[in-house]
Amino acid sequence: MAIADRSAVGDRVGAGPSAASAMPARLARARSIDDVRALAQRRLPRAVFDFFDGGAETESTMQENRAVFERLRLLPRTLVDVSRIDMTTTVLDTPVSMPVVIAPTGAAGFGWPGGDVAIARAAAAAGIPYALSTTATASIERVAREAPGHLWFQAYILRERANTMKLIERARVAGYDALVITVDLPVGGKRERDFRNDFSIPFRFTPRNLLDFASRPGWALSALRHGIPVMENLVGLVPAAAGAVAVASSVGRNYDPAFDWDGLKAIRDAWPRKLVVKGVVHPEDATKAAALGCDAIVVSNHGGRQLDGGIATAEALPAVVAAVGTTMEVMVDGGIRRGASIVKALALGARAVMIGRPTLYGVAAAGEPGARRALDILLDEFKRTMQLCGVRDVGSIGPDLLVRSQTGPGGLSP
């Protein structure tokens, strides 16, 4: 992983200056994920940025995901020797450098040519898993070839169930370690920023969005040079799969709202490796997934991009952890923009966190160096928070590190 500021990140084993020396100064000055987001916003047309950044309807769930983490308070211990910090752990029996997994984020190529591969390479360099989305602009095989590491494949369930199974089989042949089944998307959410920006798939060119694209000449020239990206995994599986715009439109019409527990069991029976169910917030759904033999769940509301008004993931997490006990690993995503939020998630019982937008902002801002910079920032903050809380290793992060509120929103039940 590139280390842009060794004094900030610390004595990380194996860090080297080569990638840092090539890092643009504007990227090196980014000190938070919000700074990286601002760089992406300046580079991308508004319609493309909002497609990545936005949530459903009033975006209340998207905002609450982050707000709950910010309302939780840490209760640090002092006079602990924190000169050496161990951030390593295991996720699905795989050693990782820190308890972070890159969440599946589709269409990254709209932000930067080859964006999916760039994020996967950043994850491999960091020693953490990368989950490739069904709607990525790089194929299952390409990512395995160009960014080998701890690779997971995320499958959306298409109406043509046989096509989903074809994708799953390709991931098995390519050697992916885990399969992630997203279960919170029977239909697409209502993302109103896209309507306001005249952003649609397939594209409908209007005076508004043509001016928007022209206002970002660097992005526009890159798009002209590289062409419209293709959602490579879906070519030949959905109608009109000539390019990303056509494929995405077809995929939106081809999600399977009939997918149920029997369908999940069929996938569990067919997939020989680790199986992760993503999109669970109800404790009873978690126990059902455990009973089917799933290896892990991700407490997720799709980053607030589908159901607006749903529960924030940090609020849902403790009950899900209590429901499954030690029968399966529990991860969480949504609203994680600080290393302190990673600590809080682990204190709530998560094995690891998934992050999506932070590395998506990074790659949209500056390609692979941007994705690496986003991970560097979170790594630095995670380590620093552990030190300031008097915690020397990941296994020592527990519920006693959080202040429990009996009444306040976003607090924990006593």
> Are 238 and 254 contacting, i.e. CB atoms less than 8 angstroms apart?
yes
H/E element, 352? strand 352-355
Catalytic residue among 150, 226, 282, 302: 302
- What are the DSSP calls for 71-104, one per residue? HS-B----S---SS-B--EEETTEEESSSEEEPP
Phi-psi region of 51 (alpha: psi -120 to 50; beta: other; left: phi over 0): alpha
Instruction: Quote the CA–CA distance of 410 and 148 in Å, as a whole number.
Output: 39
* CA terminus-to-terminus distance, the chain: 40
Cis previous bond, 409, omega within 30: no
SS3 391: coil
**Is 302 a residue of the active site?**
yes
> Are 132 and 154 contacting, i.e. CB atoms less than 8 angstroms apart?
yes
Instruction: Quote the CA–CA distance of 414 and 412 in Å, as a whole number.
Output: 6
Task: Tell me the catalytic residues.
Answer: 302
